[in-house]
Amino acid sequence: MWLNALIYFVLPYVIIFATVFVGTLIGSGEYAAGMAYVLVMAAMFVFPPLYGDALYHRHCRKKIAEAKANLALGDDASRLQAVARSGGVSRILLIFGGILFSIMLIGIVAAIAIPAYQQYVTKAKAASQF
């Protein structure tokens, strides 16, 4: 599963680099790079959503088949627990995203509050001099 994510991350850069390299050799590097970028971005935002549900459905069916094979003599409740344990969905990304969101929110608040406080201090010093 992580190999698919790595390929999804690296492949656009490889395609764009190869297109720019070939375009530079031919002499139309900027045009080729622009077209490659548009096509790669369109492919990244169109094809994965089209096939995402089918890929996850196939993953779930494989996990269910493994649970049935491993627990052929067990009851439905034990199979359900086995599938839930080995579902393949991790909460680490959710936690990591929450931490990044918190850091981003603190940064935005600091970017607004610190200059406003400095301006307040400057105005207070100027007002106290009169």
The residue ranges of every structural domain in the chain are 1-89, 91-130
State how far the Cα of 123 lies from the Cα of 128, in Å rounded to an integer.
Answer: 9
Q: What's the pLDDT tens digit per position in 76-90? A: 777 677 767 766 666
Greatest extent of the chain over all pairs of C-alpha atoms, in Å = 89
pLDDT band at 20 (very low <50, low <70, confident <90, very high): confident
| DSSP assigned state of 58 | H
Q: What integer pLDDT is reported at residue 107 of this predicted model?
A: 94
Query: Can you list the alpha helix ranges (DSSP code H) found in the chain?
Result: 2-26, 29-70, 76-85, 92-129
Q: What is the pTM of this model?
A: 0.39
Residue 57 has pLDDT above 70, yes or no: yes
Which residues have CB under 8 Å from 44's CB, separation 6+?
Answer: 8, 12
Residues 33, 19 contacting (CB under 8 angstroms): yes
Q: pLDDT category, 109, cuts 50, 70, 90?
A: very high
Q: What one-letter code names the amino acid at 84?
A: A
Q: Cα separation of 11 and 35, whole Å? A: 16
Rounded Cα distance, 115 and 17, in Å: 41
Q: Choose among 9, 10, 35, 11: nearest CA to 22.
A: 35
- Judge whether residue 6 has pLDDT over 70: yes
